[in-house]
Structure 1
Amino acid sequence: MPHKYELQAARIESVLSAHKVPARVWQATVTPRFVRFDVTTALGTRLNKVSNLAEELAFSLGARATRVYREGGVLHVEVPRDTARTVDLVPLCARLSMVPPNCAVLGVDEGGASLLLRLDSPDVAHVLLAGTTGSGKTALVRTLLLSLAMHNRPGRLQMVLIDPKGRGLEPLAALPHVWQARGVVQDPAAAADVLMALVAEMVRRDAVRRSLPRIVVAIDELADLLVTGGKPVEEALTRLTQRGREAGMHVVAATQRPSAALVGGMVKANFPVRLVGSVVSPEDAKVAAGVPGTDAERLLGRGDFLLVTKGQVIRFQAAYASGPTLAAIADQVCAGGRRGRRWVVSLEPTGLLPA
């Protein structure tokens, strides 16, 4: 491993040895946000004996925090990098030989592999994103939708954009994929009307056994919409999430308040895939992920996410598209300029994570 990480590995071993925990660091994995050290300890060493030293390890390494956890029989010590790096959406897409239809590009996992989400898979159907302010939740929604627009023509996939605050999804409003050219729907009453129109479209499609074009219903600030829109919104969303997949409809909803009271029953039953960013508490983490013990409250924020599906938890760094990149790609999509699935954008910043 590089010399810098060898020094950090030696410090980890030294701290553990001082507390009578013989250990050897045998591998370091570098991700965009942190370095994960794989540690071998003596047989019978308890996890809490090491995890209780997390603060002392952080002090020794000059890090703001460390995370100690066990995964697949291997003990890991996770240390934030001094300078985090973005995962830029356009270069990430260029690395992929092919993006299948209806697939969203999410980012890269801890091993550096590209992570895609196929919306029309029976195991996906609908997606809930949760995370506090600063988690990168809205940026991930935009990236997910932009990647769908980049790799699916409007005749095959359309989008409905609902955003009570009107800021998060506005950069996507001009895409030709936007359903009936409605732009971003902000007013709760208008949102209820749109959702009920989608329910009617779902019923019509069921009757004629049609599922194209796919319709992705994107909602930023789901909790706010449920509060302001009331029963009409909740009932329409419940019907869409219960029966929409067969009609080619998929709900992608985001919230920064994943409390059971606000998004309880409907979410628990009908969103099999969760994308969870940093949250405030273990209780919020459990509601957001749908399963306990994910440690989402310890995520680093700014694009550090968990993909939770079918009991599996995958940590990943979300891909990011800056404002200029969003505008440039939207212009190319509107102009029909999609050459061999390669996109030309020269507007990315230095690669540092956005503030």
Structure 2
Amino acid sequence: PKGTGRRSRPPREAAARPLPTPAGLPSLDLLTPEAPGTSDEADARLKAQIIEDTLEAFGIPARVAEWHRGPVVTQFGVEPGYIERTDREGNLRRYKVRVSKILSLTNDLALALAATQIRIEAPVPGRALVGIEVPNEHKAVVGLRGVLESETFGKMRAPLRIALGRGVSGEAVVADLASMPHLLLAGATGSGKSVCLNAIIASLLFFNTPEQLRLLLIDPKRVEMTKYNGIPHLLSPVVVDIEKVIVALRWVTREMDRRYALFAEVGARNIEAYNRIAGSKALEPMPMVVVVIDELADLMLVAPDDVERTICRLAQMARATGIHLVIATQRPSVDVVTGLIKANFPARVSFAVTSQVDSRVILDTPGAEKLLGRGDMLYMAPDSPQLQRIQGCFVSDKELEALAAYWRRQALESMMQADLPAPWEGMSLEEEDDPEDDLLEQATELVRKHGQASASFLQRQMRIGYPRAARLIDQLEERNIVGPAESGGRSRIVLVGPDDDAPAEDATDDVEAEDYEDYVEEEAEEA
């Protein structure tokens, strides 16, 4: 019979013994134990038979070689068979079934299996099989504690290891945030982004003290991360004001530059080397910094240029300084997840999205539109272009509150100051314009000396781009150094002479009103 030779892996990886909790770190007993998974072999065998019969009905010989039951989907490994044909000479030849033929039957297989959505992975990475992922009738919840206690998580000794969830075979999937080194998440509303962010933050808080890790949490929605206020890991209370967000991100870039300057002083290449040197030279070690942004779209609507420039600079340079970004958005469009941002975030997670276009924006390939929601995700690792389907960890508000309460108690007992003012307190949005103040003074001297003012003139003289030159012209007009824009693209009138300290308000007093236009033309020709 066709069913012989099939094998099914265990539905869930055996949990390792809980690691001993280091002093000062919370116990995993704060989390609810994960319920054991169930395996319905009879249902899996029935679906395997339906898949084989459906493919055979369309003239595709194949057999289900194995299946792996995960918490939400079961992946059936289909081995394509051979088609026998007679050539012109009458010889019998065997041809392997093309994978594209199986891919074209996605809707027919979903109809036969009475499934809402099925996803075909062709081929399964490293296997000579085509994976057909069918949703389970009874879905299991993946608890955070089960992944944190797994053998896979225990073997990873990285300080910034995070729990992502369980794969289609029930195996725990973990990652090292430091090696990513930044993570981008996207998905439609209600697909599980905020739960995944909370699971990532909880993974970090369970295994890092405030001396090892500092967090900057940015939550424009004001409701997802405010529960962490008061824990000693925070650089400041959760940032919810958009204007303060931009200032906070600028502070992070300054902190990155400061750390690089300290590295240069001691001859270190990265934060690990610096902390080793700091231990021998009685210097203060540096903590790692993780910046978590819950909604990128809100920031891109308010200040797209500033946000994109700051995030890209951090993504390009901040890895060696121990600063890492975790950014989530529910609108993965090209004006939010720009090409520059995407290029600097090789590690990406996509939850269920509404269209294939959104899936291509975040993952550069379709597939996320067929996810089931509620934590079902596709994970693109930075070292592999292959997508991995994962059911994300679930952590409840009660568990998060217990974790935050533990760290608040620790802060009180050890006299940690958890409510210190933000390090960017006192900075303003205008401080970033300091470099342009020098350019403004230079532009002022140029237009006074030459008696003409236009964006193209400043471009040539100062060797700057057109946007900045046009902005300088507008600033000169605000200071009454040049006149308003003239029609026909002519140069503006310079209201201040080379030796004047104030705008020449009477520059046109001696010109009759009816001759003013002629005066303007003459000034433009002389310029």
Give the deviation of 1:335 after TM superposition. 3.4
Query: Is residue 124 of structure 2 the alignment partner of residue 52 of structure 1?
Result: no
Aligned to 1:152: 208
Aligned to 2:317: 243
Query: Is residue 50 of structure 2 the alignment partner of residue 11 of structure 1?
Result: yes
Deviations 1:106-130 (A, max 9, x none): 1122232222221222xx1211111
Aligned to 1:304: 376
Give the deviation of 1:99 after TM superposition. 5.2
Aligned to 2:184: 128
Aligned to 1:270: 344
Amino acid aligned to 1:130: A
2:375 and 2:393 in contact (8 A); partners too: yes
Find the residue that maps to 2:303 and give its secondary structure: helix
Find the residue that maps to 1:176 and give its secondary structure: coil
Q: Which of 50, 69, 74 matches 1:30?
A: 69
2:311 and 2:341 in contact (8 A); partners too: no
**What is the rounded CA distance, in whole Å, between the counterparts of 2:111 and 2:345 in structure 1?**
40
1:35 and 1:79 in contact (8 A); partners too: yes
Give the deviation of 1:87 after TM superposition. 0.9
Aligned to 1:173: 229
Q: Which of 156, 169, 177 matches 1:119?
A: 177
Larger gyration radius, structure 1 or structure 2? 2
**What is the rounded CA distance, in whole Å, between the counterparts of 1:139 and 1:168 in structure 2?**
9
Higher strand fraction (1 or 2):
1
Give the deviation of 1:284 after TM superposition. 1.6
Matches within 5 A, 1:301-340: 301-308=373-380, 309-310=382-383, 311-336=385-410
Amino acid aligned to 1:323: D
Alpha-carbon spacing, 1:77–1:230, altered in 2? closer, same or farther (3 Å)? closer
**What is the rounded CA distance, in whole Å, between the counterparts of 2:60 and 2:74 in structure 1?**
21
**What is the rounded CA distance, in whole Å, between the counterparts of 1:170 and 1:245 in structure 2?**
27
Find the residue that maps to 1:120 and give its secondary structure: helix
**What is the rounded CA distance, in whole Å, between the counterparts of 2:111 and 2:332 in structure 1?**
33
Find the residue that maps to 2:332 and give its secondary structure: coil
2:308 and 2:341 in contact (8 A); partners too: no
CA RMSD between the two structures: 2.0
Query: Is residue 156 of structure 2 the alignment partner of residue 88 of structure 1?
Result: no
**What is the rounded CA distance, in whole Å, between the counterparts of 1:155 and 1:98 in structure 2?**
23
Shifted more, 193-202 versus 232-241: the winner is: 232-241
**What is the rounded CA distance, in whole Å, between the counterparts of 1:155 and 1:67 in structure 2?**
44
1:32 and 1:87 in contact (8 A); partners too: yes
Shifted more, 313-322 versus 165-174: the winner is: 165-174
**What is the rounded CA distance, in whole Å, between the counterparts of 1:243 and 1:52 in structure 2?**
44
1:47 and 1:69 in contact (8 A); partners too: no
Deviations 1:248-287 (A, max 9, x none): 1111100111112222133123112111111222222122
2:218 and 2:245 in contact (8 A); partners too: yes
Aligned to 2:238: 184
Shifted more, 279-288 versus 246-255: the winner is: 279-288
Amino acid aligned to 2:244: A
Matches within 5 A, 1:215-254: 215-254=289-328
Alpha-carbon spacing, 1:52–1:257, altered in 2? closer, same or farther (3 Å)? same
1:107 and 1:317 in contact (8 A); partners too: yes
Deviations 1:217-256 (A, max 9, x none): 0001112112123433333223222211121111110011
**What is the rounded CA distance, in whole Å, between the counterparts of 2:321 and 2:243 in structure 1?**
24
2:186 and 2:193 in contact (8 A); partners too: yes
Please, what TM-score do these two structures have when normalized by structure 2? 0.60
Please, what TM-score do these two structures have when normalized by structure 1? 0.87
Amino acid aligned to 1:196: R
Query: Higher RCO, 1 or 2 (CA under 8 Å, sep at least 6)?
Result: 1
Query: Is residue 251 of structure 2 the alignment partner of residue 197 of structure 1?
Result: yes
Aligned to 1:69: 121
Find the residue that maps to 2:59 and give its secondary structure: coil
Size of the aligned set, in residue pairs, is 331
Any unmatched runs of 5+ in structure 2?
A: 1-7, 9-40, 83-95, 264-269, 272-285, 412-527
2:184 and 2:327 in contact (8 A); partners too: yes
Alpha-carbon spacing, 1:56–1:269, altered in 2? closer, same or farther (3 Å)? closer
1:99 and 1:151 in contact (8 A); partners too: no
Shifted more, 256-265 versus 53-62: the winner is: 53-62
**What is the rounded CA distance, in whole Å, between the counterparts of 1:80 and 1:174 in structure 2?**
41
**What is the rounded CA distance, in whole Å, between the counterparts of 1:269 and 1:52 in structure 2?**
32
**What is the rounded CA distance, in whole Å, between the counterparts of 2:167 and 2:117 in structure 1?**
21
1:130 and 1:275 in contact (8 A); partners too: yes
2:337 and 2:362 in contact (8 A); partners too: no
Amino acid aligned to 1:142: N
Find the residue that maps to 1:161 and give its secondary structure: strand
Any unmatched runs of 5+ in structure 1?
A: 338-355
Find the residue that maps to 1:56 and give its secondary structure: helix
Find the residue that maps to 2:379 and give its secondary structure: strand
Aligned to 1:292: 365
